Amino acid sequence: MGQARDVMDRMTTLTVEARDVDAAAECYADNAVVVTPDAGEVRGREQIADYWRHFIDAFSDSHFDSLGKHETGNAAIDEGYFTGTNTAPMKMPTGDTLPATGKHVRVRSCDIATVENGKIIEHHLYFDQADFLGQLGLAP
């Protein structure tokens, strides 16, 4: 197992399982960028931590069920399902806050993280936003 895989596993465990966003943020370089289907580009460690915090806080029992973990060169790739129950308000990219729905979601996702010098410099998250919002009862 290489450096990219180690960093990605640590970030996933700290964020989704341990819910320690501050520690997970240390897995990112100061000038890292995260690209998401909901918030677009999120730049810098502080903004990335805020993105994760709003998302993770909204799902008190979050979990990642892995379907596959891969590594090639300085990139780690994870495929699986994010699961959790929406038990707290969720901040939307528009700035609006949605009240908790109490709904359980299970959304398939794929993440690709590029690592340099032990830190994630670029992280792409892929998930079906329409499916996610539909499971929350917010879209048809």
Domains of the chain by residue range: 3-135
Spatial separation of the C-alpha atoms in residues 91 and 137, rounded to whole Å: 16
- Nearest Cα neighbor of 48 from 74, 87, 15 is 15
- What would the two tokens of residue 120 be? 């994630």
Q: Is the pTM of this model over 0.85?
A: yes
Q: What is the pLDDT of residue 26?
A: 97
Architecture of domain 3-135: Roll (3.10)
Higher pLDDT, 103 or 38: 103
Give the model's confidence band at 91: pLDDT under 50 very low, under 70 low, under 90 confident, else very high: confident
Over 90: is that where the pLDDT of 20 sits? yes
Q: What is the pLDDT of residue 103?
A: 96
